[in-house]
Structure 1
Amino acid sequence: MKQFFKFVLATIVGLIFATIILIFVLIGIVASASGDKSETVESNSVLSIAIDHPITERTPNNPLAGLSFLGFDTDKTIGLNDILANIKKAKTDDNIKGIYLSQSYMLSGQATTEEIRKALIDFKKSGKFIVAYAEIYTQSFYYLASVADKVYINPKGIFDFSGFSSQITFLKGTLDKLGVEVQVIKVGTYKSAVEPFVLTKMSDANREQVTSYMGSLYDYFLQGISNSRHLNVDSLKSIASNLKIQYPEDALKYKLVDGLKYKDEVLDDLKDRTGVKHNKDLNSISIDDYTKAASDKKDDEGSSDRRIAMIYASGEINGGDGDDNSIGSDKVSAAIRKVRLDNKVKAVVLRVNSPGGSSLASAVIWREIVLTRKVKPVIVSMGDYAASGGYYIACAADSIIAEPNTVTGSIGIFAILPNMQKFFNDKLGVTFDGVKTGKFADLGDISRPLTPEERAILQTQINHGYDDFTKAVAEGRHKTQSYIDSIGQGRVWTGSQALKLGLVDRLGNINDAIESAARKAKITDYKVVTYPEQKSIFNKFGAGFSAEMKTRAIQSELGENFKYYEQVKGLQNMMRTPQARMPYVITIK
């Protein structure tokens, strides 16, 4: 027995020491990774842009990004904020002679791609070159690459130019087989987020709106390529509709690319452009590493006494704190209150990239915007999405700026409640019985269907929520509530369409929003400060860190299919509270 206790004690002491050593190793790695060490940019370099990960609004605050330790690899990711800042910095960096766009899958929405594309167009004003090369051109990456001075494709490569498509997965057949009925209470003819649970195909209203906004997105996509490549829009439509590009030679024939080259030939081209001998390595720096490159430019530092607050609201909207990829009403509201009470903050830019979520959480954030607008200018910059709840939190601003291919609108509310009685009774043989002290004490019980009276109560609540929503939009946009209802009803619009309808004030990017905020605040010298504060990796240790690591592991394993996992998870939130949520996530490949 004595030997047993000695063994146990030795094991415990060993674990303690191992844990202490591990902590010190991690601290050492983090300290090393998070230092202020800057990257050196050699003369005659190219800025290499190759993005193969989803683009978030802000670069995650993860000093371990890109490192490999203890058997774990951490991906290096860069957010839209740093991508845009780096392209702007490269424009005036004498050591950067041009940009090399290499194969990117562009796992991002169209408005995000549009922001990067506009930054590249602005970069070209410097007289520096942009060269694009890929083995596989997706439509999204080609849209970005089309601004390049030269667009090359591998002679054996793949060039996708076939037009846009939209597909919805309907679950009603599966639910019927399981004996599950989804009870829907909604307002909005076009509020189609519930359709997959109650229909087997698109409703006529939904098909109408999808056809409309997909057409708007596609027209803008083709017009952008037309402008860059000097090709007729009708010709481009014909090329795509008839799938005239099946091989790289076809892309060259129809002038969508400038040449068929292997990568070594492209690298030689870049060496010629930068004055490097072919037997030497090309001087290049990745856009991720360029973030750490020192800059002599201090123009954006501004005055510490005058600030513009950039508040990021990105992801699904729910109560609580949320995280870097979701909007928590508590955290975002606290950030808005903080900048409202800060006398150094002269204006606010609310960056919205959200398909919506909880109508209650959206209303909580909306209230803070209303209060802030009374004391300082508030400008909204819309990203890929600012729909439903995402539009709710935006509508109270002084001015709303969207990209032409932003997806917005979807002004409507719904709630879903499953009736699983047949599933429990017929499939599992489970029955329920109980007592209650009030007629509606078990309202919302999923083990039985709603009564007509209960359904009427819930419909009244949803109607009330829709009335609040349309009233808020009407007040914010200076329109009548009846007009907002006529363009609402859950219908989805693009930024271009929303401009004509009066749901947004102008088309532009995030920099346009900052400049607009400065003009309204009547300041020329200012500093942009971002909110909410991003948590570091140390702040995330514990349950939150474990959840984030689990999500990243699933995302790494599923790749592009991660979106389906997110949709299934979203069902949990949709069954808790009334939702102001867009019905789709749109991805152009």
Structure 2
Amino acid sequence: MNTPTGPSARRGPIAEFFVGLWNVMNFTRKLVLNILFFGLLLLLLAIVLIIAGAGGAKPLLDETALVIEPTGPLVEQFTSDPAERAFKRAVGDRDGDEIQLRDVLRALDAAKDDKRIDRVVLKLDRLQGGGMASLREVANAIAKVKASGKEVVAYSETMDQKQYLLAAQANEIYLDPMGGMLLEGLGRYRQYYRQGLQDKLGVDVHLFKVGEYKSAAEPYVLDAASPQAKEADLYWMNDVWQRYLGDIAKARKLDAGKLAEGIDQLPAGITAVQGDIARYAMQQKLVDGLKTAEEVGDLLAERGASDGDAEDGYRQVSLDDYLAHLNARINPIDERPQVAVVVAEGEISSGEQPPGRIGGVSTAELLRDARDDDHVKALVLRVNSPGGEVFASEQIRREIAGLKKAGKPVVVSMGDLAASGGYWISMNADRIYADESTITGSIGIFGLIPTFQRSLDKIGVHSDGVGTTKYAGAFDITRSLQPEVGQVIQTVIDKGYRDFTGRVASARKRSVEQIDEVARGRVWSGAQAKERGLVDDFGGLQVAIDDVARRAKLGKADSYRVRYLEKEVPPFAQLFSSFVGSRLGAQWLQHSSFAQGMAQTLLPRALPQTAKDLRFLESAIEPTRGVPVKSLAYCFCGL
């Protein structure tokens, strides 16, 4: 007979009663605490939402000026998450700020027809970078505001020539009397590392490529640009520059030849005005007047509605606040068919990549989501990329082909740059649009393998060992590269070039020989690419959206909606950004010493160009399973 053992066997009925009572009390205690915890959490959430709502944008009154004062580079896609951006702005930290091209275009398009907006004021001093294609798209949007009859005024303390392309579209341009603005032309110069790497450090960089114009890796093996690189670069740069001068001349009602002549005679011109660059800009009719910021503010206050609380003395709304007004009109439940937009910006790398970079896996997943989503009827791929890894590019191209096979039309809109791998992911679209000043082409492949045997010899370190075959360990970068191994690598690169040109020929319905004539790594402007059949037509993002909607037979613009497909933001990040983006949340953070201290460590500063180039070399030699060299379709082009 088995006898129960353990603590329960020794408990009597009274003990069992108290143990049971304790368990009930313990369960009740936990239940009450959990209810209180979740109740407080919900209450906190409600308070945050109320604060965010109460601290929203101020009402938009009549006779308001839209002030566009961008800080940071003009980008296709933010590289930071919403919570981080909202936090930094709330504490007044604008370091690392970015401005999305789509936001500027949307605001200008809305302001053109918004009766409450009576003028647009451009303050462009802190706008950084941006390629010619995206700047021309913004310039065109500003010109449309002006054509609608609304006044556009630009003011700057100092402007570079890229900022000036936007300012030139204004009715009036004012420059600070102590400021300056010069047109100087386009230049593209890089550092070359052969002597430093090979002679000084003992690093032998082995380059394998196809195409005499494929110059992306030249800095690692030469001391200066090759004649072919200079020839190709000057060809497309001259085309872009002449178009720039034409755009300025048209907007300012000047002669493009006279503008070019003024640049050629720059030293004499500056000497004639005794070094007064602002006066020289006036003399060249590039600006309409020399005024301080306060004087421009007084002028705008006289013309419009004055506002003593505003910094410049006139009624105004910032770009961010105006976008908040526009966002408030968006219906969160919109069942209309969709045109999806996927942004492919940055270098193309394998795997998952964060915003601002293109991942073979992450970008392909977005495209696959569009294919599987029944609400998405068509897709625009917005490309702004110098290229990168071949296999990652191919992963994305396959998804474009899959979308088309599923019956969903795909149109590519090229931004500033869609070269090499950026062209690889574009070529299978139903139609390719580019700006005349887009930089594209660079159809070519290369691979880099540095070896460090001589570097290690310099410090008395030597590599030795055995292998079961002649080529075991042949790709070890601590050993010298055998000629036979170099032959294997070059054969792989040759095959990659055949794949590239063959796919382009198939996609563009041309012969491989015809594509090879315009390939071989050569870079073209958008206008030159269209002449050579690599691009179908000219137009910006909206033109591409209109085209793909027609292909999908979606009807008029109000019968469908445009949705950007991007990596989803976690709910907490959305909530936090909503809170700190409100006026009350921002005021709280501005007075928080903890928040201000944290803001200084959120983003590192940009590294110098040399560090970027050497990081690229490091990533190029990162081993890939099963292949002797990482094939790269990359273009060090752009302005």
TM range (shorter): 0.7 to 0.9
1:491 offset after TM fit, Å? Answer: 0.6
Which residue in 1 is equivalent to 2:205?
Answer: 182
Q: Which moved more, 1:175-184 or 1:52-61?
A: 52-61
Which residue in 2 is equivalent to 1:9?
Answer: none
Which residue in 2 is equivalent to 1:399?
Answer: 431
Cα distance change, pair 302–84 in 1 and its aligned pair in 2 (3 A): farther
Secondary structure of the 2:127 match is: coil
Distance (whole Å) between structure 2 residues aligned to residue 69 and residue 233 of structure 1: 41
Letter in 2 for 1:105: L
Which residue in 2 is equivalent to 1:582?
Answer: 635
Cα distance change, pair 347–454 in 1 and its aligned pair in 2 (3 A): same
Deviations for 1:152-172, whole angstroms, at most 9, x for unmatched residues?
111111112111111111011
Distance (whole Å) between structure 1 residues aligned to residue 50 and residue 162 of structure 2: 37
Which residue in 2 is equivalent to 1:7?
Answer: none
1:554 offset after TM fit, Å? Answer: 9.2
Secondary structure of the 1:418 match is: strand
Which residue in 2 is equivalent to 1:57?
Answer: 76
Cα distance change, pair 232–72 in 1 and its aligned pair in 2 (3 A): closer
Which residue in 2 is equivalent to 1:367?
Answer: 398
1:108 offset after TM fit, Å? Answer: 1.6
Letter in 1 for 2:59: T
Deviations for 1:532-570, whole angstroms, at most 9, x for unmatched residues?
324359579xxxxxxxxx999696534xx6555433322
Which residue in 1 is equivalent to 2:465?
Answer: 434
Q: Is the 8 A contact 2:209 2:446 kept in 1?
A: yes
Cα distance change, pair 158–196 in 1 and its aligned pair in 2 (3 A): same
Letter in 1 for 2:563: V
Cα distance change, pair 68–181 in 1 and its aligned pair in 2 (3 A): closer
1:140 offset after TM fit, Å? Answer: 0.5
Distance (whole Å) between structure 2 residues aligned to residue 437 and residue 388 of structure 1: 39
Q: Is the 8 A contact 2:442 2:524 kept in 1?
A: yes
Which residue in 2 is equivalent to 1:79?
Answer: 100
Which residue in 2 is equivalent to 1:91?
Answer: 112
Q: Is the 8 A contact 1:64 1:74 kept in 2?
A: no
In the alignment, structure 1 residue 144 sits paired with structure 2 residue 170: no
Secondary structure of the 1:309 match is: strand
Cα distance change, pair 552–493 in 1 and its aligned pair in 2 (3 A): farther
Cα distance change, pair 551–196 in 1 and its aligned pair in 2 (3 A): farther
The structure 2 residue matched to 1:255, chosen from 285, 290, 293, is 285
Deviations for 1:355-389, whole angstroms, at most 9, x for unmatched residues?
00001100111111112122221100011110000
In the alignment, structure 1 residue 45 sits paired with structure 2 residue 64: yes
1:277 offset after TM fit, Å? Answer: 7.6
1:204-219 to structure 2, matched below 5 A, reads: 204-219=227-242
Secondary structure of the 2:140 match is: helix
1:35 offset after TM fit, Å? Answer: 6.0
Letter in 2 for 1:216: D
Secondary structure of the 2:340 match is: strand
Which residue in 2 is equivalent to 1:422?
Answer: 454
Which residue in 2 is equivalent to 1:342?
Answer: 373
Q: Is the 8 A contact 1:48 1:287 kept in 2?
A: yes
Cα distance change, pair 197–564 in 1 and its aligned pair in 2 (3 A): closer
Secondary structure of the 1:364 match is: helix
1:424 offset after TM fit, Å? Answer: 0.4
Q: Is the 8 A contact 2:305 2:315 kept in 1?
A: no
Q: Is the 8 A contact 1:554 1:562 kept in 2?
A: no
Deviations for 1:487-532, whole angstroms, at most 9, x for unmatched residues?
1001111111111111101111000110011111111211111113
Q: Which moved more, 1:97-106 or 1:483-492?
A: 97-106
Distance (whole Å) between structure 1 residues aligned to residue 163 and residue 152 of structure 2: 14
Cα distance change, pair 453–39 in 1 and its aligned pair in 2 (3 A): farther
Distance (whole Å) between structure 1 residues aligned to residue 546 and residue 259 of structure 2: 35
The structure 2 residue matched to 1:235, chosen from 243, 258, 261, is 258
Distance (whole Å) between structure 2 residues aligned to residue 552 and residue 29 of structure 1: 28
Q: Is the 8 A contact 1:408 1:495 kept in 2?
A: yes
The structure 2 residue matched to 1:530, chosen from 564, 568, 574, is 564
Secondary structure of the 2:225 match is: coil
Q: How many residues align?
A: 551
Letter in 1 for 2:636: P
Cα distance change, pair 340–269 in 1 and its aligned pair in 2 (3 A): same
Cα distance change, pair 31–383 in 1 and its aligned pair in 2 (3 A): farther
Q: Is the 8 A contact 1:385 1:407 kept in 2?
A: yes
1:66 offset after TM fit, Å? Answer: 4.6
Deviations for 1:133-168, whole angstroms, at most 9, x for unmatched residues?
111110000111000000111111111211111111
Which residue in 1 is equivalent to 2:147?
Answer: 125
Which residue in 2 is equivalent to 1:567?
Answer: 613
Letter in 1 for 2:342: I
In the alignment, structure 1 residue 456 sits paired with structure 2 residue 490: no
Distance (whole Å) between structure 2 residues aligned to residue 29 and residue 456 of structure 1: 68
1:29 offset after TM fit, Å? Answer: 11
Which residue in 1 is equivalent to 2:383?
Answer: 352
TM-score, normalization: structure 2?
A: 0.81
Cα distance change, pair 72–83 in 1 and its aligned pair in 2 (3 A): closer
Which residue in 2 is equivalent to 1:494?
Answer: 525
1:540-555 to structure 2, matched below 5 A, reads: none
In the alignment, structure 1 residue 514 sits paired with structure 2 residue 535: no
Q: Is the 8 A contact 1:109 1:384 kept in 2?
A: yes
Q: Which moved more, 1:309-318 or 1:64-73?
A: 64-73
Which residue in 1 is equivalent to 2:409?
Answer: 377
Secondary structure of the 1:417 match is: strand
Which residue in 1 is equivalent to 2:342?
Answer: 311
Which residue in 2 is equivalent to 1:202?
Answer: 225
Letter in 1 for 2:70: I
Letter in 2 for 1:578: S
Distance (whole Å) between structure 1 residues aligned to residue 521 and residue 600 of structure 2: 32
Q: Is the 8 A contact 1:78 1:288 kept in 2?
A: no
Secondary structure of the 1:144 match is: helix
Q: Which moved more, 1:572-581 or 1:130-139?
A: 572-581
5+ residue gaps, structure 1, are 1-22, 541-549
Q: Is the 8 A contact 2:119 2:150 kept in 1?
A: yes
Cα distance change, pair 225–445 in 1 and its aligned pair in 2 (3 A): same
Letter in 2 for 1:388: S
CA RMSD of aligned residues (A): 3.0
Cα distance change, pair 259–278 in 1 and its aligned pair in 2 (3 A): farther
Secondary structure of the 1:192 match is: coil
Q: Is the 8 A contact 2:404 2:410 kept in 1?
A: yes
Cα distance change, pair 154–462 in 1 and its aligned pair in 2 (3 A): same
Letter in 2 for 1:529: R
5+ residue gaps, structure 2, are 1-40, 575-597, 623-629
Deviations for 1:105-138, whole angstroms, at most 9, x for unmatched residues?
3322222212211111122232111101111110
Distance (whole Å) between structure 2 residues aligned to residue 78 and residue 498 of structure 1: 28
1:294 offset after TM fit, Å? Answer: 4.5
Q: Is the 8 A contact 1:182 1:418 kept in 2?
A: yes
Secondary structure of the 2:208 match is: strand
Cα distance change, pair 158–71 in 1 and its aligned pair in 2 (3 A): closer
Q: Is the 8 A contact 1:66 1:74 kept in 2?
A: no
Q: Is the 8 A contact 1:65 1:77 kept in 2?
A: no
Cα distance change, pair 420–372 in 1 and its aligned pair in 2 (3 A): same
Q: Which moved more, 1:398-407 or 1:342-351?
A: 342-351
1:265 offset after TM fit, Å? Answer: 1.3
Which residue in 2 is equivalent to 1:557?
Answer: 605
Cα distance change, pair 580–296 in 1 and its aligned pair in 2 (3 A): closer
Distance (whole Å) between structure 2 residues aligned to residue 279 and residue 328 of structure 1: 47
Secondary structure of the 1:200 match is: coil
